[in-house]
A and B are shown apart, each in its own frame.
Chain A
Amino acid sequence: MKIRKLKRALERITPGGRQFVIGVPFLWLFLFFMLPFFIVLKISFAEADVAIPPYTEIYNFVEQKIELVLNLGNYAMLGDDELYISAYLGSLRIALFSTILCLLVGFPMAYAISKARPERQTVLLLLIMMPTWTAILIRVYAWMGILSNNGLLNAFLLWLGLIDQPLQILNTNLAVYIGVVYSYLPFMILPLYANLVKHDQSLLEAASDLGSSNFNNFWKITVPLAKNGIVAGCMLVFIPVVGEFVIPELLGGPETLMIGKVLWQEFFNNRDWPVASALAVVMLAILIVPILLFNRSQAKEMEGRA
């Protein structure tokens, strides 16, 4: 009897199954994903210092007074320095153009997969998915050997007689575009496919019966229905590319200014944590709208209300 009472009392104070199921992932994500952003925000107002860790505290407690010192110098520097502004613009430009390129290449591919026979669809999807599991580092590295001055591409073009001396492709923006499209293409195709495969074929047939051309069908029926997939695919490419570090570092040259690379250098080479934090805060502020867009499209997808 006593044991049962004890058990019941325990049940009352320990959270129920529901709270536990929600609470564990919520706490983890809050602690290791959301909270860190506030720390980044805090440190972006600190000053670099020669200490461990290398920044000053922004508040201190002296004579029963809490002093809060917000150093806006980091942000002022971001606004003043040409380097940072052009790095942000460069990142946005490269992300925008490569998203468009991925969409142009990825849409027909996703469309072809969704129209293939079901058994073949699984295999094709697997072929698209496999590279996303392989290190981006290795796929980018593969291009270094191909694009270099005495690499395969130049050798091939020389052999064809199209050029008489090697082209400088590695360490230019062109190489960055190739690398980005190459690495992020699967992320465009997968959500597009997931969307296209759900389309009701009878809509297209009905339109054709009523005399609509294939071209018209495509723009008036397929594209509007695929909107959620297009948004998800574009965001999956655009947002990570803005902060991309590996591709500009390995394939880009001195002309390639991207914010992910600048942040990395500030952090690892200059050990200026406050400036790196400020760079991250501004990047996040730029990306917050696309991220919310992505989250909304995912929420719709996850609830099955797409």
Chain B
Amino acid sequence: MKRFKFSSLMLVLGLLFIYLPMLILVIYSFNASKLVTVWGGWSVKWYIGLADNTQLMSSVVRSLEIACYTAIAAVALGTLAAFVLTRVTRFKGRTLFGGLVTAPLVMPEVITGLSLLLLFVAMAQMIGWPQERGIVTIWIAHTTFCAAYVAVVVSARLRELDLSIEEAAMDLGARPWKVFFLITIPMIAPSLAAGGMMSFALSLDDLVLASFVSGPGSTTLPMEVFSAVRLGVKPEINAVASLILLAVSLVTFLVWFFSRQAEERRRRAIQQAIEEGAADSWKQPDARRAAAPVSV
């Protein structure tokens, strides 16, 4: 079992490698010294200073706004795409469709950003929209690439679902739309929430796409941070970065917490149903369902 120990050691070292730099960043954001590499005692003055920086604050508000719109649109679009990929097995252009859904995951951002900007410029010339680039164009860019992430998360969930529940509803006369909204959506709700929060975080983080498709006067938070970071390490940026880290950890924790709760509730409901079913002696409980795989 030597290999097992080696891989566990790698896991611990890998996690240290991932988290140590972030931890150092957070600690140094409380550094009183203006020199970022010299420790001058604890202080929160950089955080207090942030509140006075109106330019930064307006970019924070703008970024949050875009992230909200993106999360909603990406979940809607990504769920539709995942539904098509897992349920509609045969239609013309299915391979192309699958490619279009997954390619944004790997496409280098500089290519996507450049191509979308050129599209917007061409559209402005031809149909006069969008006259100026800003929140809407950034939202479109973010939705396109976040929808791919949502599609991957949701399709994993859709594949696990027990098709017989939907079939039963259809046999009882429910229209496809009704089945989708009353049966399918509640069952995949945890993955929708996860996809939505993921899109929110991804949109909040994006620098490259936003830089290409934003117009004057619509700088987002990452663009603001980037232009400051280019000139070197600064204590104010340490504070901003720590706040972003805090926000993302909080969102991640919430996703985990809620999906775990939903999973618990589901398992308890199934357990209860089985017990009730077992009370009727002529019904056989379906033990396979109780052992349904757990996933986030």
Q: B290 at interface (Cβ–Cβ under 8 A)?
A: no
- A60–B242 alpha-carbon span in the complex (Å): 53
B296 x A142 contact (CB < 8 A): no
Interface window among B48-56, B166-174, B204-212, B278-286? B204-212
Q: In the bound complex, how far is the Cα of B4 from the Cα of A113, in angstroms?
A: 11
Contact A245-B109, Cβ < 8 Å, known A40-B115, A109-B10, A137-B207: yes
A137 CB contact (under 8 Å) in B100, B103, B225, B252: B225
Interface residue? A134 (CB, 8 A): yes
A4 to B: closest C-beta gap in Å: 17
Q: Is the CB of A22 within 8 A of B97?
A: yes
Q: Is the CB of A133 within 8 A of B248?
A: yes
Interface residue B95 (Cβ < 8 Å from any Cβ of A): yes
Contact indicator B10/A284 (Cβ below 8 Å): no
Once the chains bind, are B119 and A36 in contact (CB under 8 Å)? Answer: yes
B11 touches A112 (CB 8 A): yes
In the assembly, what is the distance between CA of A81 and CA of B122, in Å?
29
Is A122 interfacial (CB-CB < 8 Å)? yes
Measured CA separation A105–B140 after assembly (Å)? 36
B114 near A276 with CB under 8 A, answer yes
Residue of B nearest to A261 (CB): B110
How many residues does chain A have at the interface if contact means C-beta atoms less than 8 Å apart?
Answer: 95
Complex alpha-carbon distance, A282 and B205, angstroms: 27
Nearest B-chain residue to A17, judged by Cβ: B176
Known: A33-B104, A137-B226. A145 touches B118 (CB 8 A): no
B6: chain A residues at CB < 8 Å are 108
For window 91-122 of A, CB contacts with B under 8 Å fall at: 105-106, 108-109, 111-113, 115, 118, 122
A277 at the interface (CB under 8 A from B): yes
Q: In the complex, what's the smallest C-beta–C-beta distance from B293 to chain A, in angstroms?
A: 10
Q: Mark A201-243, 1 if CB is under 8 A from B, else 0.
A: 0000000000000110010000000000000000110011011
Q: In this complex, what residue of B is CB-closest to A298?
A: B102
B77/A243 in contact, CB under 8 A: no
Within 8 A of B (CB), among A167-197: 182, 185-186
A303 to B94, CA, bound (A): 12
Judge if A129 is at the interface, Cβ distance under 8 Å.
yes
| Residue of B81, B110, B118, B202 touching A263 (CB-CB under 8 A) | B110
Question: A85: which B residues are within 8 A, CB to CB?
Answer: none
Known: A109-B14, A135-B205, A264-B110. 7 other contacts (CB 8 A): A130-B249, A131-B18, A135-B204, A155-B37, A280-B111, A280-B114, A302-B159
Chain A residues with CB under 8 Å of chain B are: 17-18, 21-22, 24-26, 28-30, 32-37, 39-40, 43, 53, 105-106, 108-109, 111-113, 115, 118, 122, 124-131, 133-139, 141-146, 148, 150-152, 155, 182, 185-186, 214-215, 218, 235-236, 239-240, 242-246, 249-250, 260, 263-264, 267-268, 273, 276-277, 280, 283-284, 287, 290-292, 294-295, 298-299, 302-304
Q: What are 11 pairs between A and B in contact, CB < 8 Å?
A: A21-B84, A22-B88, A32-B116, A36-B112, A108-B6, A122-B256, A145-B37, A185-B14, A299-B95, A299-B102, A302-B159
